Chains A and B, each alone.
Chain A
Amino acid sequence: MSNAAGHNGDGTESGLQAQFRLRHPGTHASSFTLDVDLTLPGQGITAIFGQSGSGKTTLLRCVAGLERPEQGRLTVNGETWQDKGLFLPTHRRPLAYVFQESSLFPHLTAQGNLDYATARCHAACSKALYDQVIALMGIEGILHRHPAQLSGGERQRVSIARALLIQPRLLLMDEPLASLDFARKQEILPYLEKLKSTFDLPILYVSHSLDEVARLADQLVLLEQGRTVAQGAAAELFSRIDLPWPSGNEFGVVWQGEVVERNEQWHLARLVCQGSELWVRDAGEALGQKVRVRILARDVSLALACHEDSSILNRLPVTVEDIAPDRDHAMALVRLRAGSNHVIARITYRSIDHLQLLPGKQLWAQIKSVAIVR
């Protein structure tokens, strides 16, 4: 599949350009229209985020060729998969797809499911790659079992292994964790992170969980009612309060940092994130290790003075940039500048009035908890 149908190898076309317009007549009261125009880099994890019904899965299915939009153009790393008069069927597209629920063939064992992929992969599957994938997903011991004998998490790991063994040039994942309970999610997430760091493979990852997106995504596409609201670097979008984030407790900024000190006495680690310092619980990261931390808006409170007398470990001098309403009428999102980073606080309008917050005002952000997400 090296020279499918496109301008290959001219270098300027790397990444994914997609433009789809698709109308679903809709069985419900309203019909649904997907209308997107995306340009995405050809590497890393791009999360497609939105509420259910926003068209995330439909978009992914269009990329896979499982839906046929009325209008569409799709170029992936220089190869045209769809254009006027051209529609590459799914089985001719060098992609892999991990479905939301287990999609293993029930009549084959886990091994049989993997073999289904290796038998159809255009490149030969080396023993090394095979062993690497099996080890990465930790499924050595369960290959002889049928899908019905596997747990939900095991099934999804086999599905991901199967997707990798087809040696795709683009991996599509449709909420691969959505059908799993919390414990199973925690079981799989590290595998996804390892997958990202091990394979140089662009991934489109559909999710409606900010938690997953914050952990995994490099880029983010925000969909609402079939339209793109924003696209860009994940960390950048997470520091915007003008986007239609879901209301509630999950929203927060993501910072990149580096471990510069480990305090053995208190089991804490000091991070430097582009000039701002944070203390976090020491989870065993090595000195110098790059980490990604997440500061939830609900964990940030604001004070006019620096309270040395509080239990809160991380206090940062900040400047108010802007204020936007939350979906909850009592609450507002306040975006603050801290050095070269942003931090967002979710506080009540009453507090905004009380502290007389206006853009430009300087005060202290007290951060109750910081989570290392990777």
Chain B
Amino acid sequence: MISEADLAAIWLTLKLATTVTILLLLIGTPIAWWLARTRSWWKGPVGAVVALPLVLPPTVLGFYLLVAMGPNGFVGELTQSLGLGTLPFTFWGLVVGSLFYSLPFVVQPIQNAMEALGQRPLEVAATLRAGPWDRFFTVVLPLSRPGFVTAAVLGFAHTVGEFGVVLMIGGNIPGETGVVSVQIYDHVEALEYAQAHVLAGGMLAFSFLVLLGLYGFQRKHPARGLRW
């Protein structure tokens, strides 16, 4: 019932989402920490840029990424000079696109959790001789754990559900850029409704279960969700 191509699409989707989630937790944590703590004038603009993918059509994001990463774009010229070729229509191109696309879904829950901590636990740690890095790793990170769980779940799920950006910069190369959402689109184009049903139903169940689990988690650890 599930074709080899569909299985490859599922596998690729999971690989993409896992890679992106791990990278986003690494990139998003310092951004979230900075946004949570700074009193700089830059907080507004940076926060807005991080949140842009929430409102932009994915095609707009995809279009700019395509141009930037293309042979004549500044990213493309950089990757070519490093001997990496160009990123569009490759797995790593999809990763880069997804990093932008899912960034707010990771940054905002972590930022909210860190803001909810307040100043007090850090002051307490400082009076117990903990320096800034020590405080970050022994107080901020463990106390923000619910935010990280939410961030990881949302980042993963949102990357799985990505379509517009993939279409713009990934195409549908089996095993390289052919993720589930695009596979469904192709099935429908080809009037293969039975296969489309299987994948679409799978996505629906997956998304529902993820959100159900997340809301259950958030009920136990309240006030750490997204900011909309």
Question: Does the CB pair A66–B121 fall under 8 Å?
Answer: no
Question: Which chain A residues lie closer than 8 Å to B121 at the CB level?
Answer: 103, 105
Minimum CB–CB distance from B146 to chain A (whole Å) comes to 11
If the complex has contacts A91-B131, A105-B139, are A66 and B126 also in contact, measured as CB distance less than 8 A? yes
Contact B127 A96 (CB under 8 A): yes
> In the complex where A99-B120, A103-B120, A105-B121 touch, is A90 in contact with B142 (Cβ < 8 A)?
no
Contact A103 B124 (CB under 8 A): yes
| Residue contact A91 to B126, C-beta cutoff 8 Å | yes
Shortest beta-carbon distance, A108 to chain B, in Å?
8
Decide if A91 touches B143 in the complex (CB within 8 Å): no
Q: Does residue B214 face the partner (Cβ distance < 8 Å to A)?
A: no
Interface residues of B in 118-140 (CB under 8 A from A): 120-121, 123-131, 134, 138-139
Instruction: Give CA–CA (A64, B127) in the complex, Å.
Output: 8
**A162 in the interface (beta carbon within 8 A):** yes
Check A116–B138 contact: CB distance below 8 A. Answer: yes
A107 x B127 contact (CB < 8 A)? no
A137 at interface, CB cutoff 8 A: no
Closest to B141 in A: A107
Are the C-beta atoms of B126 and A89 separated by less than 8 Å?
yes
Q: Are A121 and B129 in contact (CB under 8 A)?
A: yes
A105–B126 touching, CB < 8 Å: no
Other-chain contact of A91, B129, B138, B142 (Cβ < 8 Å): B129
Answer whether residue A97 sits at the interface, using C-beta atoms and an 8 A cutoff: yes
Given contacts A107-B143, A120-B130, A122-B129, contact A90 B123 (CB under 8 A): yes
- Give the contacting residue for B127; candidates A97, A105, A106, A121; CB below 8 A: A97
Contact A105 B124 (CB under 8 A): yes
Contacts A105-B139, A107-B143; A166 near B124 (Cβ below 8 A):
no
The 8 A CB mask of A154-168 against B (1 = contact, 0 = none) is 000000001100100
Instruction: Write out the residue numbers on chain A whose beta carbons fall within 8 Å of the beta carbon of B143.
Output: 105-107
The SS class assigned to the B binding surface is helix
A36 to B114, CA, bound (A): 35
Any B CB within 8 A of the CB of A237: no
**Cβ contacts under 8 Å, A142 to chain B:** none
CB-CB nearest in chain B for A1: B129
Interface string of A104-138 (1 = CB under 8 A from B): 01110000000011001110000000000000000
Determine the residue in chain A with the shortest Cβ distance to B143: A107
The distance in angstroms between the C-alpha atoms of A97 and B128, with both chains bound, is 8
Would you list which residues of chain B between 88 and 146 have a CB under 8 Å from chain A? 120-121, 123-131, 134, 138-139, 142-143, 145
A139 at the interface (CB under 8 A from B): no
Interface contact B124-A99, CB-CB below 8 Å? yes
CB distance from A88 to the nearest CB of B (A): 11
Range, interface on chain B? 10 to 19
Tell whether, in the assembled complex, residue A90 and residue B126 are in contact, meaning their CB atoms are under 8 Å apart: yes
Q: Does A180 contact B (CB under 8 A)?
A: no
Which residue from B129, B131, B142 sits with its C-beta under 8 Å from A107? B142
**Given the complex, which residues of B lie within 8 Å of A120, measured CB to CB?**
128-130, 134
Which residues of chain B are within 8 angstroms of A162 by Cβ–Cβ distance?
Answer: 128
**Cα A83 to Cα B158 with chains together (Å):** 53
Residue of B nearest to A172 (CB): B127
Q: Mark A78-90, 1 if CB is under 8 A from B, else 0.
A: 0000000000011
A95 within 8 A of B: yes
Among A91, A103, A120, A166, the most chain B Cβ lie within 10 Å of the Cβ of: A91
Which residues of the other chain, B, contact A96 by a CB distance below 8 angstroms? Answer: 127-128
| A66–B128 CB distance below 8 A | no
Choose from A92, A106, A107, A117 the contact partner of B128 (Cβ within 8 Å): A117
* Residue contact B130 to A97, C-beta cutoff 8 Å: no
Cβ-closest chain B residue relative to A120? B129
Look across to chain A and name the residue whose beta carbon is closest to the beta carbon of B138.
A116
Q: In the docked arrangement, what's the CA distance between A107 and B144, Å?
A: 10
Question: Nearest chain B CB to A61's CB is how many angstroms away?
Answer: 8
User: A residues near B, CB below 8 A?
Assistant: 64-66, 89-92, 95-97, 99, 103, 105-107, 116-117, 120-122, 162-163, 166, 172
Given contacts A91-B126, A97-B124, A105-B121, 19 further A-B contacts (CB under 8 A): A66-B123, A89-B126, A90-B123, A90-B127, A91-B127, A91-B130, A96-B127, A96-B128, A99-B120, A99-B123, A116-B125, A116-B138, A117-B128, A120-B128, A120-B129, A121-B129, A122-B129, A163-B127, A166-B127
* A to B CB contacts below 8 Å, 17 in the list: A65-B126, A66-B123, A66-B126, A90-B123, A91-B127, A91-B128, A91-B134, A96-B128, A97-B127, A99-B123, A99-B124, A103-B121, A116-B138, A117-B128, A122-B129, A166-B127, A166-B128
Closest 7 CB pairs of A and B: A97-B127, A90-B126, A120-B129, A103-B124, A107-B142, A91-B126, A91-B129
